[in-house]
Amino acid sequence: MILIKNGKIITMTGENYENGCVLIDDGKIINVDKYINELDIMEVIDAKGGWVMPGIIESHCHIGLSEEGIRFEGDDINESTTPITAHLRAIDAINPLDEAFKDAIEGGITSVMTGQGSANVCGGKFTFIKTSGTSIDDMIVKEDAAMKVAFGGNPKRVYSSKSISPSTRMATAAILREALTNALNYKNKKEIAKQKGEYFDIDLKQECFIDVLDKKIPLKAHAHRADDILTAIRIAKEFDLDMTLDHCTEGHLIAQYIKNSGFSAIVGPSLTNRSKVELKNRTFETAGKLNKNGVQVAITTDHPVIPIQYLPICAGFAAKKGLGVDEALKAITINAAKICGVDDRLGSIEAGKDADIAIFTGNPMEVFTETLYTIIDGNMVYAKN
């Protein structure tokens, strides 16, 4: 049992405590209050006025698949051999011993959505994991968390260089529509066979789309340019799918369209140069403009594009450019949890949720702030010496 006391408790529930306590037992938060009676059986952490927050959440990255300091041997981010690889699962490539996990923990980042890159029209399933562990199977929060799809320059660049489709945005959209149509036909045939009690051959390349078609997991759509974002929305609506708009670099140019779509945006990486044409309108103002138009927003580093430990700093720049402090903190905690479909366990400090907590000397979005403690599932995984 762990008692955190004398902290500024930022709960993300709307009720904060200037000087409060959090009680943890068996990996869960069991109480949050102004005062909790201290018992001998408790391990006590004195926050000394520091900020006690839900563990920070990275909602889109490639940690463990694109390893720190390793080239080909640690690069498992893209299987760029065919445009549709929906049957690939990120959990089969994540290396928990990637050095970046240590950086994440020291930055107060306790969980991540990680998975494939954007070389393919459909890259496979992302997974949502905690950042502490030596076996990926012990780190999983949501094994199949989203299906990665990509629009814009990346798929056409990769496959035009191989002289195969797609080499245009039209072909990217058509290939995805074809894959979804094939999966829908497969699903219907499977259901008919089950009703008739007939044998049915399982096809893994089609089977993996069923959770998407049933809205159990969303499409995770890589889209920078405004027209690519609108194409992603168009296709998701055609097939009645859930979706998150990842990167959403020009989202501020079409904010009302995104609001009307009902989809959420994961904005970033913004702390980077304009390395390609699709990023010419990159700005830290995007998140704030989307938020002001009623779009639910999270912030991403797209690690390793930006090192994952700088996620709070990226949120800070977004706060400065119009998102505001409160909404920026939500973008890396409760909003990120909601968008990733894990808010039943993560994203806020309240009884019953996982004891994933980060304690900082102050506001983590400020560059001089230091991480004092990182707690995951009630275990102390980092303490500043």
Give CA separation, 140 vs 80, 128, 134, 150, 316, in Å: 26, 6, 12, 24, 28
Task: Tell me: pLDDT of 82 over 90.
Answer: yes
Task: Tell me: pLDDT of 62 over 90.
Answer: yes
Give the neighbor-by-neighbor strand order of the sheet with 109-114: 56-61, 109-114, 122-130, 140-150, 219-223, 243-247, 264-267, 297-299
> Can you give the pLDDT at residue 195?
96
Average pLDDT of span 349-372? 98
> Can you give the pLDDT at residue 70?
83
Element spanning 164, H or E: none
> Can you give the pLDDT at residue 148?
98
What kind of fold does domain 56-346 have according to CATH? TIM Barrel (3.20.20)
Helix residue spans in 239-295 (DSSP H): 255-261, 285-292
pLDDT one-digit tens code per residue, 261-308: 999 999 999 999 998 999 999 999 999 999 999 999 999 999 999 999
Structure tokens at 44: 């006590």
Task: Tell me: pLDDT of 73 over 90.
Answer: no
| Percentage of the residues of the chain whose pLDDT score is greater than 90 | 97
Element spanning 30, H or E: strand 28-33
User: What span, in angstroms and rounded, lies between the C-alpha atoms of 142 and 138?
Assistant: 11
Task: Tell me: pLDDT of 68 over 90.
Answer: no
Under DSSP, the state recorded for 55 is P
Average pLDDT of span 322-334? 98
Handedness of CA 114, 332, 307, 372 (dihedral sign): negative
Structure tokens at 130: 């905690």
Confidence band of 71 (pLDDT split at 50, 70, 90): confident
What kind of fold does domain 1-55+348-384 have according to CATH? Urease, subunit C; domain 1 (2.30.40)
> Can you give the pLDDT at residue 24?
98
User: What span, in angstroms and rounded, lies between the C-alpha atoms of 65 and 40?
Assistant: 44
Q: Domain residues of the chain, as ranges?
A: 1-55+348-384, 56-346
Torsion angle (degrees, nearest 10) of CA 110, 286, 121, 234: 120
Torsion angle (degrees, nearest 10) of CA 277, 265, 366, 96: -90
> Can you give the pLDDT at residue 69?
80
| Percentage of the residues of the chain whose pLDDT score is greater than 70 | 100
pLDDT one-digit tens code per residue, 204-227: 999 999 999 999 999 999 999 999
Mean pLDDT of the chain: 97
User: What span, in angstroms and rounded, lies between the C-alpha atoms of 307 and 288?
Assistant: 22
> Can you give the pLDDT at residue 255?
98
Confidence band of 385 (pLDDT split at 50, 70, 90): confident
Structure tokens at 279: 């990023």
Taking each continuous run of H as one helix and of E as one strand, the counts in the chain are 12, 16
Helix residue spans in the chain (DSSP H): 99-106, 136-139, 153-160, 169-196, 204-207, 210-213, 226-238, 255-261, 285-292, 311-318, 325-331, 334-340
> Can you give the pLDDT at residue 331?
98
